[in-house]
Structure 1
């Protein structure tokens, strides 16, 4: 949410909730671990949704992202936070599937990142306060964009881990 300081729960280095509620701003300033949920959105043809953040957002204005997401609010699971963020930012109702979590040290401060996937139609209605531009890119187009465009700090790591997860999962399914 643009310009609003959410309340988050602190977690430990094993991603266990500590029962301490703080503002996200304070968690970032102090380097306290908290949870963030993101979703990689794909369409039925396998293209990936990429967007450029609005100039009005407080974190990383104008940078591109491969995933859609934000902090998990107090009492929210990763999946609930991911679904809420999809509705807020893209205007879509979807139940993203949690693929994995990892301790992300890129970005403004360390946090646990829950990476989800959602397959959807290409009809999205982004909130202009959050998203300045969006497009569906093929894998080769996205690989080029990752080298040429300015992405948020965690986009590269989260997306490379997502691709590795999908590769391992596909191999295990054979």
Structure 2
């Protein structure tokens, strides 16, 4: 059996449990949690996905992300993704915004969180992260304009910029 997620409606109410692959094939809504990481000086963590990745190979993102498990809160999923992808075990996450995303692979509810972590805390999982670095706000803006970023990551960035400006 594949990864199980909660199928939700346009108001983020649970309709039932389905396999994530089926939700993607059928274009059913489910939940995703994303975390943007900053360091104490305000720089943003950016990473590139491995070339062999099944989703968005070789593309960049400024968020760590994953599907919300059945019975899991967005916040718990955000903390889990930090542990799984970056090896960050004890970070506090703060909710920023949630929106209905018409994702490239499938539509889903997209909850974005923020955390502050020390550079030394980050020990990426090589299966998820091929490269990572820290960019200032201006450098991130420049990268967004010239690097190949995961499309949903770009959408979240545009929304984030409206909150911070």
**TM-score, reference length from structure 1:** 0.90
Runs of 4+ residues deviating >4 angstroms: none
Which of residues 76, 87, 92 in structure 2 aligns to 1:95? Answer: 92
**Using the alignment, how far apart are the partners of 1:158 and 1:134 within structure 2?**
19
User: Superposition pairs for residues 30-49 of structure 1, below 5 Å?
Assistant: 30-49=26-45
Other-structure match for 1:161? 159
**Using the alignment, how far apart are the partners of 1:51 and 1:98 within structure 2?**
21
SS class of match (2:22): helix
**Using the alignment, how far apart are the partners of 1:32 and 1:157 within structure 2?**
19
Other-structure match for 1:142? 140
Contact 1:99 1:115 (8 Å CA) reproduced: yes
- Report the alpha carbon displacement of residue 5 of structure 1 after superposing the two structures with TM: 4.1
Other-structure match for 1:171? none
* Unmatched tracts of structure 2, length 5 or more: none
Other-structure match for 1:117? 114
**CA RMSD in angstroms, aligned pairs only:** 1.3
Asked if 1:86 corresponds to 2:86, the answer is no
**TM-score, reference length from structure 2:** 0.94
Q: How many residues align?
A: 163
Which of residues 9, 29, 39 in structure 2 aligns to 1:12? Answer: 9
**Using the alignment, how far apart are the partners of 2:164 and 2:145 within structure 1?**
21
**Using the alignment, how far apart are the partners of 1:33 and 1:156 within structure 2?**
20
* Unmatched tracts of structure 1, length 5 or more: 168-174
